[in-house]
Amino acid sequence: RPAAFSHQELEEGLIGIFPLADYMIQFLEEIDIDRPLSLASENRLIELYFDEAIERCDPFLSDYFAYKRDIKNILSAINARRDGKEVGEVLIGQTDLSHTLATSNQPDFGIAQSYPFVSRVREMLDQRQLTELERQVDGLLLDHIAETSEGHIFDEITVFAYFIELSLAARWLHRSASEGREKLRDILRKVLSNSALPQQVRADELAL
């Protein structure tokens, strides 16, 4: 995660006790570490994080991070418009989508054809259905990786896809044991269906 560092860890990284990611080094060079972070500074850190991930990852992961950034920008734009803020000030990255979000006056920002979920997530934000919104976003990410990994059978892309699914499921495991466990079982069933393990091995026989 882009901000998973304590103040002490940042100071230790600066003096070389342990290596920092390039995006973090660039960020620290741009700010005064002794001053509280502003919203603009936080967005800059997130922007650098996504830029590095998109630039340096393989095509599958690069596409995943780009899509995740798109979703974040859409949510940020909806929130900013609702709160009467300048949309362009809360977006990250210089993309066609961010330009459209910053300049459009349409209720759906003119992106509903490419991002058909925009109206639904706007309703969730307006109604403060934040848990449901998190599930919706996770579902969008899972649908996206399922689409972009389709046709791959336990190769590098499949492993990346399973890792992302497990990472998303793990968050819910801490909130709802039964829901998280069922998500993990679903992922495991897919892994077993694409593996060479004996057919008698079933997901419900494993320690989940």
Q: What is the pLDDT of residues 98-138, one digit of tens each?
A: 999 999 999 999 999 999 999 999 999 999 999 899 999 99
The predicted structure's pLDDT at residue 193: 59
Using the predicted structure, report yes or no on whether residue 1 has a pLDDT greater than 70.
no
pLDDT band for position 155 (50/70/90)?
confident
Using the predicted structure, report yes or no on whether residue 71 has a pLDDT greater than 70.
yes
Average pLDDT, the chain: 82
Using the predicted structure, report yes or no on whether residue 177 has a pLDDT greater than 70.
no
Nearest to 143 by CA among 128, 165, 163: 165
pTM of the entire structure? Answer: 0.78
Average pLDDT over residues 10-39: 73
Angle separating helix axes 22-30 and 39-56, nearest 10 degrees: 150
The predicted structure's pLDDT at residue 204: 47
Contacts of 120 (CB under 8 A, 6+ apart): 136
Average pLDDT over residues 174-192: 65
Residue 22's alpha-carbon distances to 6, 46, 125, 139, in angstroms, are 17, 13, 34, 31
Q: List b or e across 16-41, with b for residues whose CB sees 16 or more CB atoms inside 10 angstroms.
A: eeeebbebbeebbeeeeeeeeeeeee
The predicted structure's pLDDT at residue 201: 43
Interatomic CA distance for residues 92 and 98, integer angstroms: 7
Phi-psi region of 206 (alpha: psi -120 to 50; beta: other; left: phi over 0): beta
Average pLDDT over residues 74-96: 95
- Comparison of pLDDT for 129 and 166, the residue scoring more: 129
Average pLDDT over residues 170-185: 68
For 31-49, what is each residue's pLDDT tens digit?
Answer: 876 777 777 888 999 999 9
